[in-house]
Amino acid sequence: MTAAREYTLEVNSIRLHLREQGEGPLVLLCHGFPETSRVWRHQLKALSEAGFRAVAPDLRGYGGSDSPADVDAFTTLDVLGDLIALLDALGEREAVIVGGDWGATVAWQAAQLRPDRFRAVAALGVPLMARAPMPPSLLFPRTETALFYTHYFSEPGVAEREFERDVGKTLRRIYFAASGEAGPRDDARTPNPFGMVSRDDGLLAALPDPDQRPAWLAAADLAAMVASFERSGFRGGLNYYRNLDRNWELQAAFDGLKVEVPALHLIGERDVGRVMPGMDRIIEAMPALAPRLTASQVIEGAGHWLQQEAPDAVNAALIGFLRGL
């Protein structure tokens, strides 16, 4: 087994920081918000041992990668452009793409638009969805006292000020509240960080501040994530949300296009997304959008940070999927 290494490549006019381990067919691992490539540490080792070349980039705006100044430079197509250029820089014609959270959205679109470069897709948490009937800014609710979290994230500078006041507290609260450790999602007392946000109090005030880090997150890993966001800030990651309407507009060009490559979907039993209205119907509808979907598997007891909370189950599912291609 080859040792893990970190390095930077210039692709698509920006620099991407990468973690890589292993030799063999390429598996590209895409993280979500608020994360970096470090969240794939368990998968890098397992995939390497299974005979694959695993590469996890810090996506644009995160970690050691560049963060363009223009808010408009953070559409899913911009990120996909980075990944296509990354394959070229790595000397690879094709890859299996795996994503969690925002990375899952990017992975689905990569497989949908470029099946010539992405021969299969595995998504953690976020299912494949048809194009919404209206822009997200009109679809999601807002009231006089609260607004859906995507609206809150979309207001320039607002979430940054709250999150960067104490990065350690921010990550600790969000990671815990969206994890399986916060409790079953059918319990109304369990805070959902991806729901309505108070206009006066912000996101974090409604979330518990656990006495200690989640059991699935080692102290060194949490410290590294905190240090990374203290350097980069949260602007880059939040800019993905600020392009939700633009993504919807661009999606019109390929509306109705199916994901024709082999696909796998994994979701935690306690993922906050599972309790969002209509999510059960979206998951049930996936086979019509991805006819080669092999499974949509629920991981018992796990929450939103699936690859970190249940690495053994995720690794087994991924490696089984990859070997079956």
The residues that are catalytic are 101, 304
Measured distance between the N- and C-terminal CA atoms of the chain, rounded to whole angstroms: 22
If DSSP codes are grouped into helix, strand and coil, which group holds residue 152? helix
Task: 156-164: list long-range contacts, CB under 8 Å, 24+ apart.
Answer: 156/71, 156/242, 158/202, 159/202, 159/203, 159/234, 159/238, 160/233, 160/234, 160/235, 160/238, 162/202, 162/203, 162/204, 163/34, 163/204, 163/229, 163/234, 164/229, 164/233, 164/234
| 3-state DSSP assignment of residue 252 | helix
CB atoms inside a 10 Å sphere around CB 22: 23
Q: Do the strands 146-148 and 196-198 form a parallel or antiparallel pair, or are they unpaired? A: antiparallel
Using DSSP bridges, classify how beta strands 26-30 and 95-100 pair: parallel, antiparallel or unpaired: parallel
**d(Cα 195, Cα 14) in Å, to the nearest integer?**
33
CB 221 within 8 A of CB 227: no
